[in-house]
Amino acid sequence: MQHYPILSIVTLFLGAFLTVIFGSKNETVRKFIALVASSISLILVLMLIKPVMIENNVIQYWMGNWRPIHDWAIGIGLEVDSLGLFFGIIAVVTIFLSIVFSFRYTEKDSETDKYYVLFLMLSGSVLGLVFTGDLFNMFVMIEIMTFAAVGLTAFRNYQEGALEAALKYLVLGSIGSSLVLAGTITIYSQVHTLNMAQISALLFNNLTPSTLFAFALLLAGYSLKAFVVPFHPAAPDAYMSAPSSISMAFSGMVNKAGVYAIIRLVYVLYHAMSFKSIQLLLIIIGTITMFVGVTMALAQNDFKRLLAFHSISQIGYVITAVGVSTALGLTAGLYHALNHTLFKGLLFLTAGAVFYATGTTDLNKLGGLAKKMPQTAAVFLIGAFSISGLPPFNGFVSKWLVYQATYQANLAPVTIVALLVSVMTLASFIKVAQSIFFGQMPKEFENVKEVPLSMRIPMWIMAILCVLTGIFPNFVTKYLISPAVSAALNVGKYIDIMMGNGYAEKILGKPVEIPAVDYVLAGYWNPVAWLVLFALLLLAVTIVAVAGGFNTASLPVDGDDSKYEVFFGGEANEYSHVKGNDLFWGLKYDLRHYFGFMHDAHSGIINDYALWAIFTTTIFIVYIFLLVP
Amino acid sequence: MSNNRKVKDVIVKTAADLFTPIALVLGFYIILHGHLSPGGGFQGGVLVASAVILIYLGYGYSEVSKRFNMEFIKKNEALGAILFTVFGLAGILYGSVFFTNVFVGIGNVGDLISSGTIMFMNDSVGYKVLTGVGFLILLMIGLLAPDNEN
């Protein structure tokens, strides 16, 4: 059991290296290696659920057996607590489903060995990031992650904009990595250790200007990796140009790695959530993120670009809820992180399926695909309902928790913004559903077929998980979320496990209290009742529909009646699909100043985006210097 | 421009002839003695890879592209990484944890073979770096090469 975390990381990296040697010629071999590596990793991580999540152990693992000497950490250690494992589970599920999906999805691409090599490196680095207990190791992993992600963004380099997107990601990602590195070395110069448990103990009640400066740099760097708003502009381009299985991995785990790092930083490393100003900072950037993300999404005309902006917006929910910093808020944030992985992964997979079948994701060219791709349309609707927060799907639960957490923390304006954002999310998914799956079908898509089984299976798994996490919130909360929440809040245990019992008490100078986590929360809504209601409604509609009998012969059938004759019923209707652009034009017209401003702001010039990133970092530094202690 | 002319510079060529073996020997020495003396796999690997640049300076791109098989180098880089992982996993196989140094007792302290698997890990890093950096250099000078030589 002790070796599972390191083995799950090593397997993925080893799979990547083996693909280079054996997978460069044969397609089957590289698929086999990728499948085996990701399944082993999935199984190893899932086997950790019992000891870590249920029995509440924390796994500590000193590489090369270099244990602390005289209470001083000298080696690199892995520390897997429930918080790390929670994000680890999210990552491995995403990896596995994405790999299965990409088998058929990438069949038209050449040189897929490079795809699998980079994908396995990306996966291994995310797992390494969430399992490590060493600050510098986090930097190394985030660096591997960024470069693998940049390579994968440019994988379809024949597509317009792929190389440009990769360049943007490269520049902004490097700024993020540099900020993280600068923050890490500043901390190291102050406390002379890189072990996160020890740093956490030494920084308690001991914040100097240098460590605050490091905090601002690390917060900005990891926010850039999570693509919160002023740092976001690389994300839509990258998500749009990357293959859909990669976009799923980006929003499912690369984003989440940044979120994980932020939670680890503010809760564990700096104990910063006791400061009102840090809570406020996270809530402000989270609220801005969710609002800007969703309004930008409303104005998009490309399926994947729209999903990318929604991804940014949903990360805003997570950051806001994490910033509320009560147990309820953290529960809401982690639950929404889990749900976001599921439904956004599902939506990106449907985008991939649409692209696979039709060759485009442009909302103004598509239409009426539900007849040709019924299963894709069905899972898309599940994903769209989930992200819009309709009961009984999972988005409802976590969004409800976010509303409740923000409202109970006396942040009613934030609750209102969150509700508005949810409404706009629903609106933009009505637009997507109308322009891709419903309405009239353009002539050129008449021969479109449903995607193959190996692409449908991951989509259905994601869809079923979306429904299950929506119907059984108590179960999910009990076994996944609340252990992770208590791990994030119980810093003393995190320190003690790594540095030896009693270390935290000695350094912190007081007994380590274990915060009581109160879970009388998700009972405000009962999913089963809603499910029964929906079933009843469905039954009623069915009864009404069949009450007239199944005899439809009396109805006029198109084509053989006089309806279309000239001078009688007019002419046969021409192709008149309502395009994605045509919906919500009123809203867009009313808010034209805002949209015009956002349009001008997203200039597409890397220099501007780099300037935003640096400017926001400066604001973080000034804010933290002025307001924190 | 200068890319198009035949390389006939005797001084550069002689210097390349002279320094290539030195770079190779020094590089391999540093890799092999990484556990005993300053330096190690990375530093030695970069030194060995610099031999590619020396050959390029002396003989031009056509000679370099004849001598080196990039596909082969790429696979050997992965081999270095795999070897490193396997030596790391040896720690688990021998009942301890990942990256544990096993077979420590063999040999006298200060001998070449004396410090267990850490030496072989170092050598794998050296192998990975010399192939990896060598591949990068080949890639870069391949981009510098004029089209008619490709």
Determine whether the interchain pair A21/B82 forms a contact, defined as Cβ–Cβ distance below 8 Å: yes
Sort out which chain A residues have CB atoms less than 8 A from B73's CB and list them. none
Q: What pLDDT does A566 receive?
A: 55
The full 3-state SS of A363-384, as one line of letters, equals CCCCCCCCCCCHHHHHHHHHHH
Q: Is the pLDDT of residue A71 over 90?
A: no
Sort out which chain A residues have CB atoms less than 8 A from B98's CB and list them. 3, 6, 10, 61, 63-64
Looking at per-residue confidence, does A287 or B40 come out higher? Answer: A287
Q: What pLDDT does B59 receive?
A: 83
Which candidate in A7, A21, A59 is best for mutational testing of the B interface (most B CBs within 10 A)?
A21
pLDDT tens string A6-34: 999 999 999 999 999 888 888 899 999 99
Looking at per-residue confidence, does A302 or A274 come out higher? Answer: A302
Sort out which chain B residues have CB atoms less than 8 A from A63's CB and list them. 97-99
Mean pLDDT of A245-269: 92
Mean pLDDT of A248-270: 92
Which candidate in A20, A78, A121 is best for mutational testing of the B interface (most B CBs within 10 A)?
A20
Grouping H, G, I as helix, E, B as strand and the rest as coil, residue A78 is strand
Looking at per-residue confidence, does B115 or A189 come out higher? Answer: A189
Q: What pLDDT does A551 receive?
A: 52
Q: Is the pLDDT of residue A555 over 50?
A: no
CA atoms of A190 and A202, how far apart (whole Å): 10
Q: Is the pLDDT of residue A383 over 90?
A: yes
On whether the CB atoms of residues B48 and B134 are closer than 8 A, the answer is yes
Which residue range(s) make up the domain with B138? Answer: 2-149
Sort out which chain A residues have CB atoms less than 8 A from B131's CB and list them. none
Q: Is the pLDDT of residue A347 over 50?
A: yes
Q: What pLDDT does A494 receive?
A: 86
Q: Is the pLDDT of residue B39 over 70?
A: yes
Q: What pLDDT does B1 receive?
A: 44
**Residue in B89, B97, B101 closest to A62 by CB:** B97
**Residue in B81, B99, B101 closest to A17 by CB:** B81
Q: Is the pLDDT of residue A406 over 70?
A: yes
Sort out which chain B residues have CB atoms less than 8 A from A10's CB and list them. 85, 88-89, 98
Mean pLDDT of A279-298: 91
Sort out which chain A residues have CB atoms less than 8 A from B101's CB and list them. 64
**Neighbour-count burial for B75-90, b at 16+ CB within 10 Å, e otherwise:** bbbbbbbbbbbbbbbb
Q: What pLDDT does B150 receive?
A: 44
Determine whether the interchain pair B97/A20 forms a contact, defined as Cβ–Cβ distance below 8 Å: no
Packing angle of the helix pair A453-471, A374-388 (nearest 10 deg): 30
Determine whether the interchain pair A3/B97 forms a contact, defined as Cβ–Cβ distance below 8 Å: yes
What's the mean per-residue pLDDT of chain A? 86
Q: How many CA atoms lie within 13 A of A51 on its CB side?
A: 15
Q: Which residues, in sequence order, are CB contacts of B94 under 8 Å at separation 6+?
A: B100, B102
Poorest-pLDDT segment among A129-143, A361-375, A461-475, B72-86: A361-375
Determine whether the interchain pair B91/A2 forms a contact, defined as Cβ–Cβ distance below 8 Å: no
Mean pLDDT of A479-508: 82
Q: Chains A and B: how many Cβ contacts under 8 Å? A: 49
Sort out which chain A residues have CB atoms less than 8 A from B104's CB and list them. none
On whether the CB atoms of residues B94 and B100 are closer than 8 A, the answer is yes
Determine whether the interchain pair A21/B77 forms a contact, defined as Cβ–Cβ distance below 8 Å: no
Mean pLDDT of A495-500: 83
Residues of A with CB under 8 A from a CB of B: 2-3, 6-7, 10, 13-14, 17-18, 20-21, 24, 61-65
Sort out which chain A residues have CB atoms less than 8 A from B88's CB and list them. 10
Positive or negative: CA dihedral A594, A600, A605, A609:
negative
Distance from CA of B36 to the nearest CA of A (A): 19
Determine whether the interchain pair B100/A65 forms a contact, defined as Cβ–Cβ distance below 8 Å: yes
Q: What pLDDT does A526 receive?
A: 61
pLDDT tens string A414-468: 999 999 999 889 988 988 888 888 877 888 888 888 888 989 999 999 999 999 9
**Residue in A20, A61, A64 closest to B78 by CB:** A20
In chain B, which residue's Cα lies nearest the Cα of A114? B74
Q: What pLDDT does A510 receive?
A: 64
pLDDT tens string A569-612: 555 556 666 666 677 777 788 888 888 888 888 888 899 999 99
Q: What pLDDT does A512 receive?
A: 57
pLDDT band per the 50, 70, 90 thresholds, residue A560? low
In chain A, which residue's Cα lies nearest the Cα of B73? A21
Looking at per-residue confidence, does A111 or A170 come out higher? Answer: A170
DSSP string covering A104-158:
HHTTTSS-HHHHHHHHHHHHHHHHHHHHB-BHHHHHHHHHHHHHHHHHHHTTTTT
